[in-house]
């Protein structure tokens, strides 16, 4: 993969010639000129390009998605990365899976967006003629959706054909995102200035156009622990812990390009911990025109130091002094970018607070079913940390209990719980009004004050008027965010499904489940597994975005009862971890202060969670069942830190992920069980061991073809018969795999049983032949070399051999000559009446007898085959070697003969009578 910058002024139409992109003709499916032809302005300038080629294998689709995602995120194109990934995935799938060819992907960055080109090599496809019609594939088909998706998502797209290539391109333009500047507020009296604990340190970090740190002041060193010498030159993306939700939010690269940006994120300190900061970014350029970004950062709880005051602009103060109070909404309406939902909501609550001179304000958005309201923005409330918390639309009976109607509460102290969001905040009076679009409830806006009786119906009408004016903009921005979230969710689930389908290992599946959820969906997660219906849930995996907290959470969860394995779909809240961690941490803190008492709830000894652990699990914790094949096989637990809650969209995405993860986990379980059974059965077909024979060296090498197979159609055996005699056999059943292995087991066990009955070699093989024929349709023919060996007192060994259709054994003498040690006879399992005979062979000291199966002699490389002669040539080089060295040299020669993996089982049995000088 190559990436580089192309000098300005070069357009895509005039890029250098490329051998894979000859002069092309464009056609639409109906034969007319393509309506989506490339009609880009000729002034589009390519500023960067990245290209990669992918092999025609299934895993290339995921690699192509990752390539496009990494490229676009590196260019800062977060707004269009999800659409680009979905389109690239479909087009590369068409190339490498359906067309079965290599695919080339080219990304071109322009000033207004990105152009991505996917080419495949499909010489069998003819160039469409003007009269031919190629209807587009239906959406329910497995393939052929690429052009439909291009038409739906891309700004422009086209298809080019040549006799050797098909070339599909699409263009995605960046959405216009107007950036404004926020005005400073009027001078404030000293008693109204925000409070700060001790010295406020403001880190000043400057970042160049490539995202690398160029300045790092002393306060930055103090806050984050990185010396300036270590920080300067590093990309800010290595230090920034940027919050990420699929399809929504501003990325760090995008934020650094905006003329002005404010918000919260984290900086990873030298100790590995994340310091939550509030930042204000300002885009500047030097006298030479080189752009950079200045970042001012403070601790998140000191955000008031940097946050721009949302007060009436100074230019309007004279009007206010004349007694004509300016409505801040008159200044606000239309100023935020329409798709910046968070900015729009935050500015709304700030202006609402200022308009009614309140102490706090909050805005909630309705869920799809309008039964609950979700906190999306607030100011002046400690519950700002409770983002995405939910309250019911109908909080109580009567007009004042419903968010569908305006309501004024003079004194919340008299009606506790009337506004759940304000419980414990010190607010006494509040006015709330609904946000409605075409009569449908879309949200609720409220302003509160610390003094009772502050608001009347007149203020409620003013706030309702403002809410009516902003409701449509809020709903439009919410729908835009929801659409981006859904597109991001689609891309996320595609990636997750691909990763989960790529493994059948249980432990790896558990790790993937956790890594996909943290930190994208949750701050921490735990996976419980259930072996069977009678087993209790078992804590199998724990992950937190801060690795130092994993052990504490694992210790906590291992000491509390697991959640109930309820098969009901959807997320349910689990409060036990937060409650137990809080109580244990409180008791630990009281003991450290020399106090006694504390919570009476008994916690199992040994938990010892620290305050950090209690804070990590102190937010909302939800449990999602892992259901596969109508059985609960586990639970996925997702958690947030203190006072944080999950969005409904994130929970729905987590539920989709849990269904896919459950099936992948169950498949891994089934695969592990089947593999364990198969391995146990296969091991039972192998000889228990090779006996030590005095005066004879024996070495065996066995390789079964096929992944996961320990036994195939080839087999060997060496066993004592009695009276100093030993039986040996090497055979080959027709075929490979389990069916051949079944005959292997029959043959090996029958040989041992018959040989120990005192039968001669021919009689043993004749009875084995009858047993194989008795198997009927399951029978397979068998080649077999069987013999009996007796070591002699003079140091030689006498062998009686029967070779039934098997490759002949080879005898290597001390002088290097190689000769066959037997004659061929009929194989087993074909005819009933066999007339076999045995031959006697004497191995003198230093001689070697080599027995192999046809997987050795029939080893192929193209049209070449090792053969009997090739095996004999290799054996002649083994003079003087031990039996183990002979077998190893033969195996190396076989493996080196061809580059491909062996497709047939192989067995090698080498027996050698040591020379007299080697007896010591």
pLDDT at 323: 41
Sign of CA dihedral 372, 403, 472, 265: negative
Chain segment 789-838, per-residue pLDDT in tens: 999 888 899 999 999 999 999 999 988 899 999 999 999 988 888 889 99
Res 182 pLDDT > 50? no
pLDDT at 309: 53
pLDDT at 625: 92
User: CA-CA distance, 744 to 404, in Å (whole number)?
Assistant: 78
Is 859 within 8 Å of 871 (Cβ atoms)? Answer: no
Is 910 within 8 Å of 704 (Cβ atoms)? Answer: no
pLDDT at 528: 93
pLDDT at 133: 45
Between 133 and 857, the higher pLDDT residue: 857
Q: What is the full DSSP assignment across 742-808?
A: HHHHHHHHHHHHHHTTT--HHHHHHHHHHHHHTTGGG---EEEEEEEEEE-TTS-EEEEEEEESSPP
Phi, psi of 494 (to 5 degrees): -60, -45
Res 32 pLDDT > 90? no
Segment 609-619 mean pLDDT: 73
Is the pTM higher than 0.85? The answer reads no
Is 764 within 8 Å of 751 (Cβ atoms)? Answer: yes
Burial of 503 (0-12, 13-18, 19+ CB in 10 A): middle
99-103, 196-200, 473-477: least confident range? 196-200
Chain segment 107-157, per-residue pLDDT in tens: 998 878 899 999 887 654 444 444 444 444 444 444 455 677 787 788 888
pLDDT at 151: 78
User: CA-CA distance, 741 to 828, in Å (whole number)?
Assistant: 16
Res 699 pLDDT > 90? yes
Is 871 within 8 Å of 856 (Cβ atoms)? Answer: yes
Res 899 pLDDT > 50? yes
Res 916 pLDDT > 70? no
Q: Residue 768 half-sphere exposure, CB side, CA atoms within 13 Å?
A: 34
User: CA-CA distance, 678 to 300, in Å (whole number)?
Assistant: 57
pLDDT at 245: 55
User: CA-CA distance, 666 to 397, in Å (whole number)?
Assistant: 48
CA separation, residue 262 to residues 56, 222, 294, 520 (Å): 46, 22, 12, 22
pLDDT at 736: 63
pLDDT at 847: 93
Chain segment 36-89, per-residue pLDDT in tens: 444 444 446 888 888 888 888 877 888 888 888 888 877 778 778 878 888 888
How big is the chain, counted in residues? Answer: 920
CB crowding 17-37: b at 16 or more within 10 Å, else e = eeebbeeeeebbeeeeebebe
Between 384 and 740, the higher pLDDT residue: 740
| Percentage of the chain exceeding pLDDT 70 | 79
Three-state DSSP state, 533: coil
* 644: its two tokens: 């944080």
Chain segment 768-786, per-residue pLDDT in tens: 988 888 877 666 788 999 9
* 488: its two tokens: 């991001």
Segment 305-311 mean pLDDT: 61
Phi, psi of 330 (to 5 degrees): -65, -35
Confidence of residue 105 (pLDDT cuts 50, 70, 90): very high
* 672: its two tokens: 């592990």
Provide the Cα torsion 879, 881, 882, 887; round to 10°: -80
Res 34 pLDDT > 60? no
Between 211 and 685, the higher pLDDT residue: 211
Mean pLDDT across the chain:
78
Between 237 and 192, the higher pLDDT residue: 237
Is 60 within 8 Å of 96 (Cβ atoms)? Answer: yes
Is 838 within 8 Å of 804 (Cβ atoms)? Answer: no
Segment 486-502 mean pLDDT: 84
Confidence of residue 738 (pLDDT cuts 50, 70, 90): low
pLDDT at 158: 87
pLDDT at 624: 92
* 328: its two tokens: 């801040």
Between 145 and 222, the higher pLDDT residue: 222
| DSSP summary character for residue 520 | T
CB crowding 817-842: b at 16 or more within 10 Å, else e = ebeebbeebbbbbeeeebebebeebe
Burial of 502 (0-12, 13-18, 19+ CB in 10 A): middle
Most confident of 260-264, 410-414, 710-714: 410-414
What's the distance, CA 290 to chain centroid?
Answer: 38
Res 395 pLDDT > 70? no
Confidence of residue 742 (pLDDT cuts 50, 70, 90): confident
- The residues pairing with 543 across neighbouring beta strands, listed in sequence order, are 525
Helix residue ranges per DSSP H, 76-108: 81-93
Chain segment 239-286, per-residue pLDDT in tens: 888 766 554 556 788 778 877 777 788 898 888 788 888 888 888 888
Res 534 pLDDT > 60? yes
Is 786 within 8 Å of 763 (Cβ atoms)? Answer: no
Chain segment 638-688, per-residue pLDDT in tens: 998 876 778 788 888 889 999 999 999 988 888 888 877 777 776 776 777
**Distance between the two ends of the chain, CA-based, in angstroms?**
62
Quote the radius of gyration of the chain (alpha carbons, Å): 38
485-494, 542-551, 732-741: least confident range? 732-741
């Amino acid at each position: 993969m190559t990436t580089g910058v192309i000098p300005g002024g070069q357009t895509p139409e005039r890029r250098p010639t490329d051998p894979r992109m000859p002069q092309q003709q464009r056609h639409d499916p109906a034969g007319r000129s393509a309506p989506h032809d490339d009609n880009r302005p000729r002034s589009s300038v390519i500023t960067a390009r990245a290209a990669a080629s992918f092999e025609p294998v299934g895993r290339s689709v995921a690699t192509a998605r990752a390539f496009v995602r990494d490229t676009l995120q590196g260019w800062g194109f977060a707004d269009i990365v999800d659409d680009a990934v979905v389109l690239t995935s479909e087009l590369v799938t068409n190339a490498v899976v359906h067309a079965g060819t290599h695919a080339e992907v080219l990304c071109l960055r322009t000033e207004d967006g990105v152009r991505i080109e996917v080419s495949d090599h499909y010489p069998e496809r003819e160039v469409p003629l003007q009269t031919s019609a190629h209807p587009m594939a239906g959406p329910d088909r497995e393939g052929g959706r690429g052009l439909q998706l291009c038409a739906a998502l891309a700004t422009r797209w086209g298809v080019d054909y040549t006799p050797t290539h098909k070339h599909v391109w699409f263009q995605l333009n960046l959405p216009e995102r107007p950036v404004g500047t926020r005005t400073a507020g009027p001078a404030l009296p000293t008693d109204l200035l925000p409070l700060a604990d001790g010295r406020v340190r403001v880190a000043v970090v400057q970042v160049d156009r490539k995202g690398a740190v160029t300045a790092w002041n002393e306060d930055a060193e103090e806050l984050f622990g990185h010396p300036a010498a270590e920080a300067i030159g590093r990309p800010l993306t290595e230090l920034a812990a940027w919050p990420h939700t699929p399809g929504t939010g501003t990325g760090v690269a995008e934020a650094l390009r905006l003329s002005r940006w404010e918000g919260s994120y984290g900086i990873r300190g030298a100790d590995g911990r994340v310091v939550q900061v509030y930042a204000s970014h300002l885009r500047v350029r030097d006298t030479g025109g080189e752009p950079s970004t200045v970042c001012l950062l403070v601790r998140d709880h000191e955000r008031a130091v940097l946050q721009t005051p949302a007060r009436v602009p100074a230019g309007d103060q004279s009007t206010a002094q004349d007694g004509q109070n300016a409505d801040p909404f008159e200044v606000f309406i239309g100023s935020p970018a329409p798709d910046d939902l968070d900015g729009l909501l935050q500015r709304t609550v700030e202006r609402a607070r200022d308009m009614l001179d309140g102490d706090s304000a909050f805005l909630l958005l309705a869920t799809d079913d309008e039964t609950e309201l979700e906190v999306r923005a607030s100011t002046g409330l400690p519950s700002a940390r409770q983002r995405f918390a939910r309250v019911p639309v109908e909080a109580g009976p009567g007009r004042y209990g419903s968010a569908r109607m305006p309501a004024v509460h003079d004194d919340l102290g008299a009606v506790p719980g009337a506004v759940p969001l304000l419980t414990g905040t010190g607010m006494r009076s509040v006015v709330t009004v609904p946000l409605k679009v075409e009569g449908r409830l879309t949200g609720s806006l409220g302003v509160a004050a610390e003094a009772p009786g502050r608001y009347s119906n007149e203020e409620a009408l003013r706030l309702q008027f403002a809410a009516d004016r902003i409701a449509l903009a809020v709903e439009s921005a919410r729908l835009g965010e929801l659409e981006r979230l859904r597109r991001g969710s689609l891309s996320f689930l595609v990636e997750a499904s691909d990763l989960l389908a790529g493994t059948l290992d249980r432990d790896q599946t558990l790790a993937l489940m956790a890594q996909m959820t943290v930190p994208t969906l949750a701050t921490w997660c735990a996976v419980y597994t259930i072996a069977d219906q009678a087993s209790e849930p078992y804590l199998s995996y724990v992950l937190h975005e801060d690795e130092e907290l994993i052990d504490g959470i694992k210790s906590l969860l291992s000491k509390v009862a697991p959640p109930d394995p309820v098969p009901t779909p959807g997320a349910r809240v689990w409060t036990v971890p937060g409650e137990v961690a809080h109580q244990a941490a409180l008791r630990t803190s009281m003991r450290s202060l020399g106090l006694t008492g504390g919570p009476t709830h008994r916690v199992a000894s040994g938990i010892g969670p620290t305050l950090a652990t209690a804070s990590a699990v102190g937010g909302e914790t939800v449990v999602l069942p892992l259901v596969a094949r109508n059985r609960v096989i586990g639970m996925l637990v997702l958690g947030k830190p203190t006072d944080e809650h999950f969005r409904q969209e994130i929970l729905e995405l987590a539920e989709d992920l849990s269904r896919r993860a459950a099936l992948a986990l169950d498949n891994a379980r089934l695969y592990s069980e089947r593999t364990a059974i198969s391995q146990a059965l296969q091991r039972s077909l192998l000889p228990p061991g090779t006996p030590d024979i005095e005066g004879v060296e024996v070495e065996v090498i066995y390789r079964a073809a096929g992944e996961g197979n320990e036994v195939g159609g080839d087999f060997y055996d060496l066993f004592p018969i009695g009276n100093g005699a030993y039986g040996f056999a090497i055979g080959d059943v027709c075929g490979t795999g389990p069916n051949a292995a079944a005959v292997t087991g029959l043959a090996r066990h029958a040989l041992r049983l018959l040989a120990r009955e005192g039968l001669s070699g021919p009689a043993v093989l004749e009875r084995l032949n009858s047993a194989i024929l008795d198997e009927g349709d399951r029978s397979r023919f068998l080649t077999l070399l069987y013999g009996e060996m007796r070591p002699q007192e003079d140091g030689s060994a006498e062998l009686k051999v029967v070779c039934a259709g098997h490759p002949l054994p080879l005898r290597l003498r001390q002088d290097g000559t190689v000769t066959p040690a037997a004659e061929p006879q009929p194989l087993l399992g074909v005819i009933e009446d066999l007339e076999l005979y045995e031959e006697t062979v004497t191995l003198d000291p230093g001689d070697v007898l080599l027995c192999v199966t046809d997987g050795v002699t029939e080893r192929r490389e193209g049209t070449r085959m090792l053969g009997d002669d090739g095996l004999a040539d290799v054996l002649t080089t083994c003079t003087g070697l031990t039996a183990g060295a002979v077998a190893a040299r033969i195996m190396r020669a076989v493996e080196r003969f061809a580059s491909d993996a062996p497709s047939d089982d192989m067995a090698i049995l080498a027996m050698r009578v040591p020379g007299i000088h080697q007896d010591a």
